Amino acid sequence: MGWSYGEVGGRDVGYGVPAYCDHPDCNAEIDRGLGYICGYGEVGGGDEGCGNFFCSDHGGGGLCGQCTKGETPFPEKPDHPKWLKWKLRDSSWADWRKQNPAAVDAIKIALRDAAKP
């Protein structure tokens, strides 16, 4: 089984999911694959990591700075607009859209709000 898409704790994850680094001061574009997870590539972060996703500068693939210091993890960043647009438009998500109208409405609101200056 591949890891291009999955869901962990209600969060879309996998190397097919474009994302921003979860470090609050960074907007590097990454994906939510195992190569960027805090926790040495273990789903959910394993025993040592927080399971958030970081660029290589902020600990992706190893441990983030917060976990290295034993501090509270950074909050997760919202989904990347590229991913949200994919879920709204791609035919592979048509059934999901039909089954989740409230989530579709929330995505539309998030995209509209993100476009505001």
* Range in 6-10, 13-17, 67-71 with the lowest mean pLDDT: 6-10
Closest CA to 84 of 101, 57, 109: 109
The residue-averaged pLDDT of 55-66 equals 96
- Is the CB of residue 33 less than 8 Å from the CB of residue 8? no
Give this prediction's pTM: 0.91
Closest CA to 74 of 56, 47, 49, 57: 49
Closest CA to 107 of 76, 91, 83: 83
Query: Which residues are registered as beta bridge partners of 20?
Result: 29
According to the model, what pLDDT value does residue 13 have? Answer: 95
- Residue 3: band (very low, low, confident or very high) from pLDDT cuts 50, 70, 90: confident
According to the model, what pLDDT value does residue 115 have? Answer: 76
The rounded distance, in Å, linking the Cα atoms of 62 and 35 is 9
Residue type, 44: G
